[in-house]
Chains A and B, each alone.
Chain A
Amino acid sequence: MNLSRCLPSAALAMALASPLAAQTLTITTSGGDYGAALRDALWAPAAAELGFEMREDSQSDSLAALRMQVMSGAVSTDVIQMGSLEAAQAATMDLLEPLDPEIVDIDGLPEGARNDYCHPFDSYGTVMAWNTETFGDAPPRSWADFWDTETFPGRRALRANAQDLLEIALLSEGVAPDEVYDVLESGDGLARAIARLEELKPDVAVWWSSGAQSTQLLKDGEADLVVTWNGRAANAAADGGAAGYTFAGSVIGTDCLAVPAGAPHPEEAMKLIAAMTTAEREARLTDHILYGPVNPAAYETGLIPEDRLELLATAPANAGSSVYSDPAWWVAHGQEAQIAFDEMMNR
């Protein structure tokens, strides 16, 4: 009761106190625990600093929601959180405002992660996980080991999707991390990756389709070697599963922040993105969720405890042999790659 009477006057007081009338910005995230983490660590403190009022919206399918808003000409959101691949698709459909490099520090990001439309701020790794009961003290250490079915016999589980697996297939053949997309871009690169996956196919017991399923497979010992996301592998171990995993050769995916084309407050939105992605805020996000910062300076803040560091895909000790998933390649070749992958799976 009191609160409801209090709030408008508090807003009014703030509006009067700030030099400009407070802007109300709308942010769209995927909601749930993740959305709450983004609020508490990133946008709520950033907005308080800039004196913005905020409205929160949540959408499970950011691309569909964005498309709907832009197509109907009724854009209500100023900042939208997306997966980098969806964002790249959105950019090709002219659904995003290009980011202003004067406001958002694009060049401060690692080379593979830079993006002109959607600013990556957190990351997860697609990693190799294994059953520690099966392999004991001599677990597989690299993707080459993952393919070595003689030294490491056992049932494999892979995601039923070409994403990350093509990169991993090439890494397993000894392609250097920074050359993976050059090889894929070259004439027979895709065919080479698919052929490598087909080689492993007889040992693939399950093609999983949801992250939860991959955790379950690992925890139950249904599969001995699993390609999964680092958070999922950590979950399996935390739930008492005999699971180990390594970031060696992980494929890093990122989530990013973008401004929809025709957003009501584009300039303020970019300022908000810049304030959300400072080294400190990205470091703080890891208190809430195991998504590693993309801003390299976050690791120099000393805000991330040692025992957290080893769980993050982009931590300096983990990222050495990693590949940043390249949204541009996937937007250009995703269709072709997925079809080739599907045909391989069903052969």
Chain B
Amino acid sequence: MMTQDVWEVIWLSLQVTTVSVAIGMLAGIPTGTLLGLYSFRGKRIVVALIYTCMGLPPVLVGVVVYLLLSRYGPLGALGLLFTPEAMIIAQVVLVTPILAGLTMSAVQAKERTYWETAKSLGASPVQMMITIVREARGGIWSGVAAAYGRAISEVGAVMLVGGNIEHHTRVMTTAIILETRTGNFTAGLQLGLVLLALSFLFNSFLMAGVLNQMKSRRR
């Protein structure tokens, strides 16, 4: 594999994963916060559902998204199958429950007195949620890291809906599969190490960010 191709594959992996996690955060963090703060009828079922979805088999998600986006499926007219967008859709489905679930735990771990204090100080419902999210940011960041790790190392769904097309939808994990299948174990292993290094970098970066924020937030 040429060096340029390797960079292209790494870059696409990062793009797809980052966009997926960002969308997942937009959906998952507010959902998790609401679930962590309020109780309502049927909450237990919703929570059970989210915990189940946290462990969704990627291949299953891949098949469902594939069938939806297929030329012969209900969303076939969009022509999204075998595009990076399709991969993002599948990954958003995978990471959103993780983000929602871990945000919920992080928010619940904060004592009730924190949100009562915010309310007492005159926070609007939205302001109160923002305050609590900031208060629980350590736990939420680890949710983001877990989601990122899952998305970037996931192969089943992106292979199915992306198609592993060279220069178009080939990402690190699908490239590793291909290299292995064609007998280029060395190349597969090298890419695997890059993946590992990226995960490590990203996690350390996140941890550093969390620690910094905890140490010195100023006006």
User: Is chain B a partner of chain A in the same complex?
Assistant: no
> B residues bordering A, Cβ < 8 Å?
none
> A residues bordering B, Cβ < 8 Å?
none
